[in-house]
Every structure is written in structure tokens, then in C-alpha cells.
Homo-oligomer: A and B are copies of this chain.
Amino acid sequence: MPDSEKRLIQHIRRLAPVGPTVVRGIGDDCAVIRIPRGHEALITTDFSLEGIHFRRPLHPADSVGHRCLARGLSDIAAMGGDPRAAFLSLAAPRTLPQSWINRFLAGLLGLAKEFAVPLAGGDIAECSAGVLADIAVFGSVPRGRAILRQGAKAGDAIYVTGRLGGSAAVLDKLGSRSKRRFCRGDHVHFYPTPRVSIGRYLREHRLATSMIDISDGLSTDLGHICDESQVGAVITAAQIPLAQLGNERRRVDLSFALYGGEDYELLFTSRQGQRVPARILGVPITRVGEVVRPRGMRLILSGGRMRQLWPKGWQHFSPGVGR
């Protein structure tokens, strides 16, 4: 390992103190993590690849770091879990300025601090092709209480947290510009808030029969719930809470909510007749449809027309390249 990588690891180690759950963090063959008695472990890994998940000319380095960890935290949230430690594998070109890495780490560790998730390990390598990050987040949940994608039953109501489509709408607006010029509303794309507290609330109050985070658009992620639960769904377009950007009055197009990615809101189902609060921890919770027996997804449009809803993800940067 060259000295530059050693220095980077030492740097990260200084920035990333161990907490009570991390018995041993960076500096050993493995991290050693304590989980509460009676809990099961949760693990998720997510790539953040330059040119696919972000573009260096468009995304500030701290946003790349923030979003990298947000992807993992959002997956823990979607299980109703408590995040306990994060692991960063980072490959970067030798020519990448140290200042970029510092700001990337500041973004990642800022979010880590907010959620009390220590950075407990990872790997460093050189890669001439660009910046490649892979985040692993480790969490836990009381035994048997993880909220899976497969628990939805016909008759359940379908809910989403927050507002949808904002992230993709921002990207659509900015994507064609050569220079960065951000507005206040662009925050939803660059610095999304993973819904960890809401996921935990839903688990603790046993409100959700199935759950997923909306990282690939409502149509795709609802499709996953339907596939895993072997059910269908009917969604009412007018019920979908569409994002507004900054001071703009207009709401974003429905297509951004259905097919846009990276909203990092939660989509969950709740038993028929279950009372679900209109707000949880200050975030609006909106009923958007119902789980039905016949497979497939249907969208009710204004005037009562109904059409098939196909799971279709948004292709941000390279058509045909998956996120």
C-alpha cells in the first residue's frame, strides 16, 4: 500500500472515532460490532459510481459523500432498523485532488454524525477510471421484527412518506446546464434525508406490513413490493404527494415521482383499517393506493381513467445504464 493510501486511512481513522457499539473499528482485519441482545443483523451495500450515480462537474464532493451514505441508511430505514456502523470502500484516480476527498469525507461523516453511525472500516484503492465508492451499512432490528418487502396483503393500504419526484426534477433541471447554480429546493437531490426515524417508528408501532425505500421511483419500488408479496396494486395519481422545488408554486411532474429515482422516501403498506397518523415526526404520510389480489399495477388517472403502471426506472446519465 503506497504512503498516500496509508495517510488517507490514518486521516479517516482520526475523523472516525469508535462509539460504544464499535468494539474495534478501522485498523484491524475486521471491525467488531456489538448488537443488542435479541437483535438480528441488517446489512446493505450500495455503489456510488462516477458517471452513473453522480457526475463530478455537477455534484459537489460533499454531496457525493452525503448521498453515498444516505443510500445505505435509507435501506436500513426501509427495514425499520437501527443503523450501527458504516464501511466505505473508495477507489479514486491518483490525480484526484486531496481537497475533493476531504470534502467527500466531510459530507459522508457529517451525515454519519447526524445518525450516530461510526465509520468502522472499508478499503482504499487507486482507479484511473474515476471515483468508485461502495458503502456497506450494518444495522440491527429486534428478532423477527424487520419489515420486509414480502408482507403486503390484498386489502392493505399503500402509504408514502414526504413528497416524491423532487430529486429527479432537480437533476432534470440542472443536468443540461454546464455550470452549477443551485437553488434552495435543490437540496432534496444533493442532500437527501434518509427516513431512519420514521422507519423505526413504523416498526415500533407495528404499522407496516411491508416496506421499501423509494430509490428507483414509485413504479419500480412498488413493483418490488408487489413481486415479493405476490400481490397487485392500484395507485391514485391525484393522491401522490408531488414535490415542490424551493419557492416554486408548481409541483413537479407526476412522471418524476413515478419513474424518477433517489427520493429516499419510504413506501409501506398497512393493514386494512389500521389507523396511520397523517404526520410522523413532522413528515407527512400519504395514502396513495391499495394492495389488490390480481397481479400487476394500475394507475387511476383524473376522471377515473385507469391504466397499467409499469415499473420503469429513471436513467439519469447514460441511457440504458442502471442506477
Contacts and interface: CB of A to CB of B under 8 A. Distances in A.
A91 interface: yes
A175 interface: no
Interface residues of A, number: 70
B212 A29 contact: yes
A283 interface: no
Interface string A106-137: 00000000000000111111111110101010
Contact of A32 (B24, B124, B146, B220): B146
Contacts of A58: none
A44 B121 contact: yes
Contacts of A323: 1, 125
Interface in A25-61: 27-35, 37, 40-47, 49, 52
A218 to B, nearest CB: 15
A44 B120 CA distance: 9
A275 to B, nearest CB: 25
Contact of A78 (B30, B126, B216, B321): B30
Interface string A138-156: 1101010010111000000
A172 interface: no
A214 to B, nearest CB: 11
A175 B23 CA distance: 41
A320 B150 CA distance: 48
A221 to B, nearest CB: 10
B122 A45 contact: yes
A64 interface: no
A35 B41 contact: yes
Given A1-B216, A87-B43, A136-B45, A124 B29 contact: no
A204 interface: no
A79 interface: yes
A265 interface: no
A257 B257 CA distance: 57
A141 B41 contact: no
B31 A44 contact: yes
Interface string A83-99: 00101010100100000
A47 B87 contact: no
B28 A85 contact: no
Contacts of A143: 34
Contacts of A94: 321
B45 A89 contact: yes
Contacts of A42: 30-33
Given A45-B89, A45-B121, A132-B91, A32 B27 contact: no
Q: Which of A41, A75, A139, A320 has the most CB of B within 10 A?
A: A41
Given A1-B220, A47-B89, 20 more contacts: A2-B321, A28-B149, A29-B44, A29-B74, A29-B79, A29-B212, A29-B213, A30-B76, A30-B79, A31-B43, A32-B40, A34-B143, A37-B37, A43-B136, A47-B125, A126-B321, A127-B129, A127-B132, A134-B134, A138-B138
